[in-house]
Structure 1
Amino acid sequence: MSPMNVWKHRCAVAAAGFLLAAPATHAGAGESNWRAPVPDDRLYAVTIFMGEGTENNFSNVIENFFDVEGSTDHVLGLTASRLLGWYGRSLSFEAELMYAYHYGREIYHEVGTAAYARWHDFPWNRYLLTTMAVGMGPSYTTEFPQLERQPDGSRSRLLNQFNLQASFALPAYPETALVARLQHRSGMFGAFNGVTDASNFLTLGLRYEF
């Protein structure tokens, strides 16, 4: 495995481990930490986002988040998600459907679905409600994007999306949040027709829960 893929794998494992490390102290003896949504939960959310692609690979984006090389590729996307349940009081799970319109260097469409784990417990939530989420699932494009070209010519319209997301909302308006989202497509270390790191888009958006 190349150094880049080793780093990417470690990043994915660390992110998943962080989000799945919900404390088990909220349940009594013999009581499960998992619970289904209740009437007080906001079950649904829609997010609109837009942003620009980058020529940097995934690991370079993470390491140099504020100093990446932009491209002429742009995206405008819309997602709809549904809360599936909670583990403890801090970790929620949701399912998402996504449509994205890509434009700039070329025009094509992308559809995908993903499962998300979202962490809600931050010490400054009294002043700024914050969540961090990791999502993964299949993504399909109607073209072979030039941004995803591989040195050996490998290509695939169907790839895996691995997305990192942070949301920020005022306590007085918890249902409306500003969202920063890293939209990443890859071939899962070559599992999809030999494709490795494919494309990365840095985006901002608005999320509304209801």
Structure 2
Amino acid sequence: MRRLYHQPLSPFCRKIRLVLAEKKIEVELVEEKPWERRMDFLRMNPAARVPVLKIGDLVLSDSGAIFEYIEETCPEPPLLPRTPAARAEARRLAAWFDDKFHDEVTANLLYERVNKKLAKTGYPESEKIKAGSRNIKYHLDYIGWLTDHRRWLAGDELSIADFAAAAHLSCLDYVGDVDWTRNAGLHEWYAKIKSRPAFRSILADLVPGFTPPQHYADLDF
């Protein structure tokens, strides 16, 4: 039995959920509130962060490490390209969204507006929200540029780069922070990945106290 400890609006958890669903790997979802620092959870991951994937006695943490384990043990369908150069590009872009996009956008928008309320750690800081709203434009334009030159973000095939980007954007879309009209390539790419069966359970997520916009689960948004 595989068990994934997650938060519904964590982009890192969503990335792993998308990977598991794309590979048709069944997993039991356990919602975890890491800010509560539950002792049993801390024993699994002292860093007190989600996601954590438990497979029997094996405990895996960090979304990058979890993905690499899944890709090696369940290689079909592959989410890393065939050639070393293409794999490096897929990993680079996944890191771009999990590091740069996360720090410049997700942390300033989603965490300020949602996570602080859920964890009861204070009120949103307006300067951070302004910074996130400003920064996201650059990243959306970058996605548009990538889609103008490639079928998927890292090349001709769907890869972990697409799921990393889509995980962050789907979380931000839940709170209405993505301007899908900014460029056509961005909209077409997200509509394509959003329509995949792997996305269904994520689009069904609901977070108490927060209502997604009407277009959030609409495949023809």
Whose Rg is larger?
Answer: 1
Higher RCO by CA contacts (8 Å cutoff, separation 6 or greater): 2
TM-score by shorter chain over 0.5:
no
TM-score band (shorter)?
under 0.3
**Higher strand fraction: Structure 1 or Structure 2?**
1
TM-score by length of 2: 0.25
